[in-house]
């Protein structure tokens, strides 16, 4: 082997190793802003089972677990429960909601008991309830409109 032939494989090894050790977070968000990344990771969980108290793709998600997971994958840490998420986030009007903001609903008790991620176009993605799967629904559907509690954001500048 000539010296030139030895350098090429070593150079390739260095490139491959540098790619391997690149931060997973930077690879996840390359070409995406945080809002897009949140929605992309939530969409990737479509049809995963509802699982109370879970926030793991292999086990499933409850509503706030899906939010926690998608935000974490985008490099943002938010509280784990719907109530704590609502309390900590900045409140916004529904008409001002942007992709990645959160929509809260009062479904079985007073206060924010359910949360979904707004994806634009009047739709949100959420993990609804036992026996159902992560899905996209329209916020204007009667049930959601009737139980709407508020919109909130974890992004500065609201």
Catalytic sites, residue numbers: 63, 114, 126
Q: Are strands 114-120 and 102-105 parallel, antiparallel or unpaired?
A: antiparallel
Strand partners, 150: 104
C-alpha 4/C-alpha 43 separation (Å) is 47
Under 8 Å between Cβ of 43 and 125 = yes
DSSP tag of 120 = E
C-alpha 119/C-alpha 141 separation (Å) is 15
Residue 68 CA from chain centroid, whole number: 7
Angle between helices 63-73 and 34-43 (to 10 degrees): 130
Query: How is residue 69 written in tokens?
Result: 């997971």
């Amino acid at each position: 082997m000539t010296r030139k032939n030895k350098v090429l494989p070593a150079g390739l090894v260095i490139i491959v190793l540098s790619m391997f050790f690149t931060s997973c977070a930077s690879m996840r968000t390359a070409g995406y802003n945080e809002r897009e990344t949140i929605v992309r990771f939530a969409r990737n969980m479509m049809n995963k089972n509802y699982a109370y108290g879970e926030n793991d793709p292999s086990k499933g998600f409850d509503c706030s677990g899906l939010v926690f997971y998608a935000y974490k994958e985008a490099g943002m840490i938010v509280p784990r429960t719907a109530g704590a998420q609502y309390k900590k986030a900045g409140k916004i009007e529904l008409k001002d909601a942007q992709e990645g903001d959160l929509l809260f609903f009062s479904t079985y008790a007073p206060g924010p008991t359910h949360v979904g991620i707004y994806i634009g176009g009047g739709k949100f993605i959420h993990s609804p309830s036992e026996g159902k799967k992560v899905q996209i629904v329209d916020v204007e559907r009667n049930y959601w409109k009737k139980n709407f509690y508020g919109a909130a954001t974890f992004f500065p500048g609201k």
